[in-house]
Amino acid sequence: MFNEFESYIRAQANLSDNDIELMRSVAIEKTLRRKECLVRQGDVCRYKIFVTKGLLRAYATRDDGSEHIMHFSPENSWSTDPESLANGTPSNYTIEALERSEVVLWTKNDLRYLTGTITGLKAYFDKLIYAGGNSLRHRVLSVIGSTAEEKYDDFRKNHADILARVPLHMVASYLGVTRETLSRIRRSYIAGK
């Protein structure tokens, strides 16, 4: 798993062999069964997670039992609850594997040490956070200004890879519509083209 991470990160950031070995020395490898949770809502999220295989989701459950997906993380992407990780507060999210997955974990402290030592890694994380902000802003715009159909369009455009891998009711939960509504949208979508 770390090997997959290594080839990914080498392509993304300018790291020496030494940097890689440093990261490896504190990395934790883990295999997740389908439906296994890495963090449960209410727990403290202790790791920053890189997915080398499979697919995770981070979702919040409301008092009424409804679930809202904040984030999908397929292979070669990251997951965590940044707020819980940074502050040690209980997480609002459950992070669950949707497929059998392989992940690499780092604790907050190790990560702080790594980003403090490896400037290339810090620069990479900065880029990552910046890109995350952009996609959150796009999502806010999409979600406050669009009909359910436009949101679905948007999702198809921006997350075609995810669309093919997750049950529809999770797409619905990501978009903030019911599964029934999404189902009807798709029908008219197919009819319309």
Chain residues binding its own copies by CB under 8 A are 60, 62, 66, 68, 70, 82-83, 86, 92, 126, 129-130, 132-134, 136-137, 139-141, 143-145, 174-176
Task: Look at residue 178 and give the partner it binds from DNA, its own copies, none, a contact being a CB closer than 5 to 8 Å depending on partner kind.
Answer: DNA
The smaller minimum CB distance to its own copies, of residues 1 and 111, is found at: 111
The smaller minimum CB distance to its own copies, of residues 37 and 141, is found at: 141
Handedness of CA 139, 125, 90, 169 (dihedral sign): positive
The smaller minimum CB distance to DNA, of residues 47 and 152, is found at: 152
Using rule CB under 7 A, residue 115 touches DNA: no
Cα-trace Rg, the chain = 18
Q: How far is Cα 100 from Cα 43, in angstroms, rounded to an integer?
A: 22
Smallest CA-to-CA distance from 47 within 58, 39, 55 is with 39
Residue 126, Cβ neighbours under 10 Å: how many? Answer: 11
Q: How far is Cα 55 from Cα 35, in angstroms, rounded to an integer?
A: 10
The smaller minimum CB distance to DNA, of residues 58 and 170, is found at: 170
- Chosen residue from 83, 149, 153, 154 binding DNA by CB under 7 A: 149
Q: How far is Cα 59 from Cα 65, in angstroms, rounded to an integer?
A: 12
Binding interface with DNA (CB under 7 A): 34, 147-149, 167-170, 176-187
